[in-house]
Amino acid sequence: MTAGSDPASSGQGPQSSSVPPSLRSSVPSPAGLVLLPFRALRYDAAIAGDLAALTSPPYDVIDADGVAALEAASEHNVVRLILPRDPSGDSSDTDRYVAARRTLDRWRSDGTLRPDPELALYVYEQAHPTTGHAQRGLLGALALTPAEDGIVLPHENTMAGPVSDRLALYTAVEADLEPIFLVYDGGGAASDAVAAVDARTPLVDVRLPDGLRHRLWALTDEDTLAAIAADLHERKALIADGHHRYATYLQRQAERHAAGDGPGPWDHGLTFLVDATAFGPEVHPIHRVVPGQAAEELAELASAGMHVQELPGGVAAALDELAAAGAKGTAFALTDGARAWLLSQPDAAQLTASLPAVRSEAWKALDVSVLHGFVVPTLWHLADTVDTVGYEHDVDAAVAAARRTGGTAVLLNPTPVTAVAAVAGGGERMPRKSTLFTPKPRTGLVIRDYRDD
């Protein structure tokens, strides 16, 4: 299978975020980017205990061992809501979702979770104690718009399974348990309001198990909220993380309107909105591993269509050379952990012939597009499938996987946010696993419960 025919990389295939027009006919469609204040449901530390034992990573990065560890940390850990188990031990999904609703109801009734007294937009910060990097943005209730409106821009495809799971859970609990993550090009009143909270005492100031310092402030002043609303209205935002949850929001909204429920809290979804130009995320590449394929052989094959240079100095030196070459154009580093090669300057004629003509220049310029659309199928003569080309989120893991499988780690430069936005703005989807925005919002600091809207 080539990159042009792989649903995950081509943009064809399952698109569970595409709600049928018949379901959307009565759904309200805001004219701009709208982030409304809400009344957050938050842990009461006096009853629930230390937040360090109560929060979790996002649901989609927790494995079975992680679930068990979080459950062991506290009987009130939020993992019991986002990845619930059926208390009877039955495997029924329906019972799991009902269990989550019962848990949420119980925690509300016993005071473990309490709604804040006022509607607010919340400024949320995640700061690294060593690097000094701080990501800060607004938590609010986002007015939902489909991708075709060009306001909230997805850059990845979604699959039916995760959306079906989240939809069943969110329908059962009638709450947004964790936010999606959007970025935008900012400046203006919203960014000013986010920056100004340093002079105020936060609602939350805690170091959590992810090693970051998390702080939370509430914005309730009507003039400030009005200025933020006016500033955001004409902007567009890119989904950095949470494509499946956003698809869930849209599907939930469409179903409620189709059922005749009319306007309601389902017209919005819990969202973390970050000005990428002021307090933006760090953007990391997602590296590739080609198991069972020797790096030296792949380097030789690549020389038929790219400039290939063996690099002295090991992996660390290769990363420096990769970054320098990436500043000039497309580049990759191949390594087996002992030797390394730099691939750069793809042959223009061969590249044009390999990449789909219908794709935009922005899409064709992506390193991941060149890798999956040209290098893998054309130069290496490999099927571009997840079994042939795997993924690792850091260099050490990619190199370890290459050594373990007798294969090759393919190291990439990060994709700039501007490049992601350019592709998304044109209505296209990026090849699978193109980029990683960090840090992701911590789950459990705030919940948006319909009963509090």
Interval 23-49: pLDDT, tens: 445 577 799 999 999 999 999 999 999
Residues 342 and 360 in one domain: yes
Report the pLDDT averaged over residues 312-335.
94
One domain for residues 248 and 357: no
Looking at per-residue pLDDT, the higher value among 24 and 105 belongs to 105
Residues 322 and 210 in one domain: no
When pLDDT is cut at 50, 70 and 90, the band that residue 432 belongs to is confident
pLDDT, tens only, 245-287: 999 999 999 999 999 999 999 999 999 999 998 998 988 999 9
Same domain assignment for residues 64 and 152 = yes
Is 425 within a domain? no
pLDDT category at 431 given cuts 50, 70, 90 is: confident
Write the CA distances from 274 to 19, 89, 193, 200, 439, integer angstroms: 26, 40, 12, 20, 12
CA neighbours closer than 13 Å in the CB half-sphere of residue 219: 30
Task: Answer yes or no: do 264 and 293 share one domain.
Answer: no
Give which of 266, 209, 275 is closest to 236, Cα–Cα.
Answer: 275
What local confidence, expressed as pLDDT, does residue 3 receive? Answer: 31
CA-to-CA dists, residue 181 to 81, 118, 280, 308, angstroms: 19, 23, 11, 38
Burial of 259 (0-12, 13-18, 19+ CB in 10 A): exposed
Mean pLDDT of 214-220: 98
Q: What angle do CA 72, 73, 79 make, to 5 degrees?
A: 80
Pair 235, 375 in one domain? no
Structural domain range at position 311: 286-413
Residue 208 lies in a domain: yes
Please give the tally of structural domains in the chain. 2
Query: Distance (Å, rounded) from C-alpha 344 to C-alpha 325?
Result: 7
CA distance 39 to 115: 6
What global pTM score does this model have? 0.83
Tokens of 168: 């069943």
- The pLDDT mean for the chain works out to 91
Q: Is residue 178 assigned to a domain?
A: yes
